[in-house]
Each structure stands twice: as structure tokens, then as C-alpha cells.
Structure 1
Amino acid sequence: MNQTLGWLWFEDGTKFEGVWLGDPDWRARGEVVFNTAMTGYQEILTDPSYYGQIVVLTYPLIGNYGTLEQASESLFMWAEAVIVHRLELEPTRGASLESFDRFLRHYHKAALVGTDTRALTRYLREEGTKRAVLVPDGTSFDEVQQHLAQIDLTRAVFQVTTPEAYEIPGSGPRITVIDYGVKNSILHELSRRGAHVTVLPATASAEAVMASKPDGVVLSNGPGDPGTIPEVLPTVRHVLDHYPTFGICLGHQLIGLAEGATTYALKFGHHGANHPLWDEVQKKVLITSQNHGYAVRATPLLDRYRVRFTHLHDDTVEGLEHVSRPILSVQHHPEAGPGPSDSLYLFDEFLGRLTAARQGERHEE
């Protein structure tokens, strides 16, 4: 292992040391979050929702099963960098797999290895989400300040969305996905249920949605503060007024904002594959995969919506359901990737609502 030392240097001057791995020229800068998943490091790092974030993996052993192209959630590693305690340099699962070091170098990203991730996680839990830079040993405080000043995460969605529309053929219902940073797993779950999927950029207009002739619309996950992208809300309102809608993660938050709710920043967010939720309709607990730093205040919506899902750790709103229209939103990731498959049934529920809405339209005709 290259024994070049590196530092995770926070804006308040706090520093955590480790060994630099990956691209020696990369300088990571962004928000630092911790993820509690025990597996799925490749899926986490390639999830567009992690754009602009430095990810601390709390599970102490990373890299033991290597990386595999098919496991990626997108075409790129969107996380700025990753911090781990112990790293296996070579995969133990098969010679055809790529090592974690080569994976990082392929995307020109870096990691800090050997860091006391327990102490770092305690720091984040006490201080909340903070900004930092990942720099090699010998970097001056002035240089760190220059890197910190360059952090801008306000319009992250437009950095990760598809530049143009594309289709995934299917013989079933037509589903339009508005891509705010969509994961491959979401598209896979729709496709394997037979849907014909059209993916539109985050900038899609109401006219573009109508031109795709959807039976239903999915508002995808994505990075950043939903309050910084008000220009997408007119299209969201059009979708809610005209189509069965399923909002996932950021999509859930945008539904809230479009309907008159507000959002707020969580102290250190929800990031991991072991978050318990209560499903008020099914009357059961779900263990879920999550990655978000904001939550919805749903009170202004409760004349039209009910809170369908609640987080059992902090009682935050984890999903909304319209009382009379086919609109469902979830704050977590029902497609998992990585994580438990407890809530895959929500894709079936959405498609069932969509089918019922189509049958209702035909009956009225």
C-alpha cells in the first residue's frame, strides 16, 4: 500500500489522519456523512445521491469482495471520497474482480484508510454534517481554506441528471422517470415488472412529460437540498395533477414542496441499510436503505395526505400517501441497492394503483 499520509480536514480545524489510497492528485471536498451499511460499498459510492459527499463507512472491513461493473448504480463514482478503517487490497471472491484501489483510480478518486472511523462517526453525530477536504500530508491551512471555499452543493441535481432522454423498452405500462440522480436499481425494478421506461432529465418540462405519454411517473432520488431547485416544481405539480405518481427520496421531498410543505436539514442525516420504518397501512416494520440529509414537515399537507411511513428512530416523515389520488412517496430507497428488500412491494403497489387508474379511465369512457 502507498504509505502517503492524508488528512480529512474539517472547516472547524478538526483533522483525522489516514493513509492515502487511489488517485494521488485528487483533492476531495464536500459534506462528510457516515453510512452504517455492512455491505454494498460500490453501490453506495456510485449512487448519484452521494454527489459532493465524503462518505465514512462505519463497517470496519471494506474491499474484501472487490468491485464488479454490474454492481454500480450509475456510470460514475459520485462520492467525492471514502474513509475506511480497514481495507482489503485484493478481492477474495474471484480473480476477475477489480480491487478497490483500481476502482478508485479508474474514477480518479481517493480514499483515506486506517482512520479511526468510530471517533470520526462520534464527531459527526455530535457536531452534525460538516464540510471538509481530503488532502495529502503537508497541505497548509490556507490551501485547505481555499478548497473549502470552492464547495457548492446548491444545484447538485443538475450535475448528475441524464443530459438527454432515453428509453428502456418493455411491453407493460409506460412509466416516465424524471431523473434527479436515478439509481440503476430503480430502473431495474420497473423494467423487471415489464414497464416501458422513459427517462427524462431533471429539467424536463410539463410538455416533455406529456410527450412521453406516460401511464404513471416516478420522481427519482437525487442529491442536495431540495429547496435550492424551485424551477423543477412546476413540472412536479403538473405530474401530480395528471398522473399516478411515485416519489422516491428526493422525489418525495419535491412532492412535499410542490404541495406546500417545507423541508429541513437533519443534524447528520440518514445514511445506511438498517433504518427501521413503520408502514401505517401494512401495520408492519420495514428495515430500509436510506441516504438523505433533509426531511419533510408534512403538517400543511394533512388535509390531503396522510403520513404513510414514519422513521422509528426519530419520528421523521418517511413517506406520504394522497387520501384520494394515486400518489405515493417514500423517503427511503425501496429498491435497496444496497440493503434489505423489505419494501420492494411498493413498486408493485405503485403499478397496481396505476393499473387501477387506467381501468377507471376506461370505465368512465
Structure 2
Amino acid sequence: MKAILALEDGRTFEGESFGHTGTTTGEACFNTSMTGYQEVITDPSYRGQIVTMTYPLIGNYGIAPEDSESKGPHVRGFVIGELCKRASNWRSNQALEDYFAEHNIIGIEGIDTRALTKHLRSAGAMRACLTTELSTEEAIKAAQDAPSMEGSDFVKEVSTEDGYLWEEESRQWTIPNASTGQVGNYIELPPVRHKIVAYDFGVKHNILRSLRQNGFEVEVVNSRTSAEDVLAKNPDGIFLSNGPGDPAALDYIHAEVKKLIGKKPIFGICLGHQILTHAFGGKTFKLKFGHRGGNQPVKDLRTGRISITSQNHGFATDQETLPEDIEVTHINLNDNTCEGIRHKKYPIFSVQYHPEAAPGPNDAAYFFKEFADLIDATKAQTNA
């Protein structure tokens, strides 16, 4: 069936729909990853967005349930160059087209994703409408009438209602290797070293898996949990997760996180990093087209080390607004925006990118160990 992608500035693209039919609106953005479309689709950070994949062929390895980053898809729509009609993957149990039909997600294929991406790079991420039922003029109007990403609070839509202890499968899959003594398909988990509380602002499952792989027992709480309730659990540390929307719109979260500063070691990723920025008294701003993909170069200003990182965010920390007791530790080498901060007095740090990246790259995976070591050091200092 014919489908139309209309942008709020009047630019339109025509293609063929797959999955669901109907009309949806959201912010049009693009992701440059060559693999990982399932992780993108199920990442809660994409709530409210119509995502374009720049890699031309999508769907070639189908859908494997254990690779999902949440319980279901969060994208408002999906834009690709070509849909692979037959998946080739022994782990797959469903085609992408069928997955979208099951979850009422509209996809469009057969458009010039290169032209769309170049347009969004020049004009910026913007509101869009994806439809199989509206005229071109109606679709443009629908895009223009859609809510703006600025000022949006999608965290309330994706955060868990009830807290829980993460007990899902977290072992890393591997290939047996007799020379190293690896006899099974999984690397066994280490014993629990630390018990932490993780705020769910739209947490990805692989973050929770990575935390468990590094010796953490993780109790997940919803985004509205008070600082008093978190501290009453007496955790060894506190984790602030990724999530969707405008970090400046989350005043009720900033206030609670501010109360936690200096009380426990804290580690934040992506939206968690931006929330810490506001809790410290700084500000965030909207990037022109965001950082979304698995090839973002980041420099550690303390060591000079450069990592290739996975990122998914449309807002960034304004480092000029940070107070003097906050150190900028990492910057993006493409645009020099802030990618990491650390408190000079308290055991608190955060990064804008994703050290748990699935399917990768894994250059930044060491941050989970760094969090565990920071908790160890804090405990030693407290007991000294």
C-alpha cells in the first residue's frame, strides 16, 4: 500500500507501507547503525520518534526475542530503503514485517533514505507524519500540528509502574572454546558484590544485564520514586537510566535526584546524565539532529583515550552552565559537545553515550566496572 512521509517543512517522500497501516506522527530522526535495528525499535529512548535507518537493507536477520531492549517496540514509525522479505537467522522467530503488524507499527520502504538523512542534517530533526490514508497536504498539516519534542515528558509513558528485582537472563552468550576452558554457550555470572537501586526512565534491558554481569544486584524503581524511598532501601549505589524526551521537562525528577547528591555513589547514562546535569544546576539544549548510531567518537579528556561509541540522544548538556564543582570528562569529537561529567567532591559520574551498547561497539563497557570500583572505594573510605 502506498505510504507518505511528510515533514513539517513541507518536504515529502513516497514509498510502500509494511507492517501496520494508518497514520502516526512523531519527530523524524535518523540512526546510522549498520546493525541493531531490533534494539533501536525496542529502545524506550525512541518513544515519540519516527526513525530512519541509513543502512539500506533492514530486516535481513528477522526478530529474536532475547535481543529486545524492552517488552515491545517504542518507535512511532520506521523508515527504510528496502525491507528484506526473508530473514536468515537461526535465532529469529518472526519477520520484521510481521512484528510490526502485531504491534501496530507503521513502516515505510522504498524511499531515498540518503536524501531524507541529508535533509534532516541540514534542516534539523523535525515533526513528521507517516500515513497510508491521508493526502499529501493533510499529512503535512498533521506533521505541523504534532507535539514538539521540546517540552515533552515521555518518561511517564515508559517507566515501570511497579518496582522489581532484575532476575532475567543476564549471562553473556559465547562460543565454546576448549583451549580457554569455556565449555558452554554462556559465561557464568559473577557473585553479587553490590546492591543498587536503578531509576527506570526508560531503561534498556542490556543495561540491566551489564550491571548484573559486573556484580550488581539491581532493584528497579519507577521514575516517580522519592529520594527518601530510595535511601530507605540503603543501596550501595544508585543508577540513573536512559530514557526519552526533553530532560528539561522533568523537574519532578531533578528535585529528587538533587536530594541524592552526596548520599550515595551515583552513575548515570544518557537521560540519566542529563538529569544529573539539571540536578547539579546546569542546563541542557536540543541538538540540531542529535547523535544516533554506533560510530560516534568520544575523547576522554583525562587520559586522551578515544572510544567509538553507541549513542541515541537529541539533547545535550550545556557545559558552560555547569557549576565549578563539576568536571567535564568526555567530549564528542564531531561537535565538541559534552559526553561525560564527574563531581569533584562526591562519587558521582555520568556519560551521555551507551557503554552497554548492543550490538556494540563495546569500547566503553569499562564504565560498569568503574562504578563498582567507585562503590568499593566509597565503602573503604566510610569504614576507614
TMscore range, shorter length: over 0.9
Residue number among 8, 14, 17 corresponding to 1:11 in the alignment: 8
Q: CA deviation at 1:211?
A: 2.4
Q: CA deviation at 1:57?
A: 0.1
Distance in 2 of aligned mates of 1:62 and 1:350: 36
Does residue 202 (structure 1) correspond to residue 223 (structure 2)? The answer is yes
With 266-275 and 330-339 compared, the bigger mean Cα shift is at 330-339
Number of aligned residue pairs: 359
Pairs within 5 Å for 1:1-365: 4-25=1-22, 27-94=23-90, 96-136=92-132, 138-139=134-135, 141-142=137-138, 145-146=141-142, 148-151=144-147, 153=149, 154-168=152-166, 171-363=192-384
- Counterparts in 2 of 1:19 and 1:213: CA distance versus 1, 3 Å: same
2:175 matched residue in structure 1: none
Q: CA deviation at 1:324?
A: 2.7
Q: CA deviation at 1:142?
A: 3.8
Secondary structure at the counterpart of residue 318 of structure 1: strand
AA of the residue aligned to 1:223: P
Q: CA deviation at 1:192?
A: 1.4
Distance in 2 of aligned mates of 1:205 and 1:69: 33
The sequence identity of aligned pairs, in percent, is: 40
CA RMSD of aligned residues (A): 1.6
Gaps of 5+ in 1: none
Is this contact kept in 2: 1:226–1:253, CA < 8 A?
Answer: yes
Secondary structure at the counterpart of residue 332 of structure 1: coil
Is this contact kept in 2: 1:90–1:100, CA < 8 A?
Answer: no
Q: CA deviation at 1:172?
A: 2.4
Secondary structure at the counterpart of residue 196 of structure 1: strand
- Counterparts in 2 of 1:152 and 1:12: CA distance versus 1, 3 Å: closer
Distance in 2 of aligned mates of 1:43 and 1:260: 33
Distance in 1 of aligned mates of 2:6 and 2:139: 11
Q: CA deviation at 1:14?
A: 1.2
- Counterparts in 2 of 1:360 and 1:112: CA distance versus 1, 3 Å: same
Is this contact kept in 1: 2:129–2:142, CA < 8 A?
Answer: no
- Counterparts in 2 of 1:191 and 1:140: CA distance versus 1, 3 Å: same
- Counterparts in 2 of 1:226 and 1:138: CA distance versus 1, 3 Å: closer
Distance in 2 of aligned mates of 1:171 and 1:84: 42
Secondary structure at the counterpart of residue 357 of structure 1: helix
Distance in 1 of aligned mates of 2:231 and 2:15: 51
Q: CA deviation at 1:337?
A: 1.8
Is this contact kept in 1: 2:63–2:92, CA < 8 A?
Answer: no
